[in-house]
Amino acid sequence: MAEARSAVGEPIVPELDEDEASSYLAALKEFRRSTIRRFFRTRNQIKNGMWPTSWWNLGVTVALVSMVIVSDLDIFKCINRRLWAFGEYFYISNTPQYLYVKVVILSWLFGIFFFIIVLYVRRYLLRLLLAYKGWLYEPPAKQSWITLLWGACMRLVTGSSPSTYSCQQSLPRMPVPCLRATIRKFMKSIKPLVSQEEYDQFKKEGLEFEQKVAPKLQNFLHLKSWWSQNYVTDWWEKYVYLMNRSPVHINCNYYGLDNFKWKPTTFQCARAGAITHMIMCFKRILEREQLPAMRIRNTISVCMSQYERAFGTTRVPGEEIDELVQAHSSQSKHIIVLRKGIYYKVDMMDKEGQLLSPKAMEGIMEWIIKDADTHQDSETAKAGEHIASLTGLKRADWAKIRQEHLLEGVNKETLEKVEKAAFMVNLETISPEDIEQRSNYMLGGSGSSFWFDKSISLCFFADARYGFNAEHSWADAPVVAHIQEYCMTEE
């Protein structure tokens, strides 16, 4: 396997001063960046754990408890007496100088206690409300009074401005369908496909299954549904996708294109630089959890868990089952650019930890094209020209080749760079004439145009058109469509 080149443009990283180049300052800057990342990550985790409540709700709860403790109103006397009785367990004097200390301790203690109660009450109320499906069958202009009342309750219970993953703990669990209804629907679905004799046999076996084996399996499903958000997700991913031994590029992967007619430029490098920059911006927004949670009609929360594996994810082949492996965000700050069989590692951050600008990325793409054209007849180019086609083989065959040839020496190092990349980019030399030719190419390319195991691979044609090829097992198509929509809107 060809060793990945490192693409670096001179104008991108300025010269370091002597003081800045010292290892001490470099370590200090890295420690500062790491501390800031950890702070915001912890803040987001706390915020997500508190949703649909907020810090403001906690403050209000503590203030109300304080008011009850110091109030002399008759309506609060019973609660007031019990709170002060509990306060006697603290070995704090009741003298005036310590009285306020006891009030503060009691206020925060019981404020947090009641706040947690409010949090879980709102969370489970939201789950119950989201179980209502009547709004699906009513147009927005002609909603029933029940749906309008439900919408008002949703607005009342739902927290404001949820971040990317705030709603996850408040979503209802996947319900287990009725056993008898499942068997009935199965029988109805196969009736047009089988003969009457076969149908009668299926009906007999279905009745026997319903009476003997099915109740036990149904109970297991109910048990699993209690401790998992979706009882079918892991099984679906494992048995439908990862255990499938067929080639992924026509049995799993899918593609998408840019605008049908309009394109902002005719320069391949300019568009490649702009789009890669925008996708990295989306990645940064996603990692910081600044992407607003998806909500239908600004009311109904949508699960966002699939966004977590959008970048730096690779489907690693196995002889019996594949594995989805995602690199840590700190290890996937680069992309891999493929041009004429040569793989280029492009770091997307400058020395200050900031994203490279679209102009800088355009310069890198131009350098890559010139370098690849210069070395297209080299041993490196010939060795890597068809290496990506291995990802289009049957999964067991690809797993054996990977195990035998790509897990040692320079091949292992290069493979790690490819698999840990945020995404891949292919700078093509061809320009398909119409949308049909572009679609055909984006589905499989030349067979070695895409690393089919990567979560997202982009392809930029010579006429500045582009599209993407995405591996399916890590998420459904709307996630990649959202990224594509973001890029096209920003463009």
Of 451, 443, 453, 446, which is closest to residue 428 (Cα–Cα)?
Answer: 446
464 DSSP 8-state letter:
S
DSSP classification of residue 72:
-
Contacts of 209 (CB under 8 A, 6+ apart): 183
Burial of residue 329 (number of CB atoms within 10 Å: 0-12, 13-18, 19+): middle
Output the CA–CA distances (angstroms, integers) from residue 137 to 68, 141, 143, 151, 217, in the order listed. 47, 12, 9, 14, 32
Cα dihedral 129, 134, 140, 142 sign? negative
C-beta neighbour count of 372 within 10 angstroms: 23
Give the separation between CA 214 and CA 97, rounded to whole angstroms.
Answer: 69
Return d(Cα 475, Cα 236) in angstroms, integer. Answer: 12
Longest dimension (CA), the chain: 92
Is there a catalytic annotation at residue 405? no
DSSP string over 352-394:
TSPBPPHHHHHHHHHHHHHHHHHTTTSHHHHHHTTGGGGGGS-
Give the bridge partners for 466, in sequence order. Answer: 460
Give the span between the Cα atoms of 357 and 381, in whole angstroms: 28
Q: Which residue has the tokens 């430029």?
A: 265
φ, ψ for residue 313, nearest 5 deg = -105, 135
CA 313 → CA 190, 241, 355, 465, distances in Å? Answer: 38, 15, 20, 25
d(CA 118, CA 241): 41
Residue 202: C-alpha distances to residues 76, 205, 389 (Å)? 68, 5, 43
Q: Name the active-site residue from 222, 277, 472, 482.
A: 472
- How far is Cα 398 from Cα 390, in angstroms, rounded to an integer? 6
Name which of 216, 323, 263, 289 is nearest 462 in CA terms. 263
Give me the active site residues, please.
472
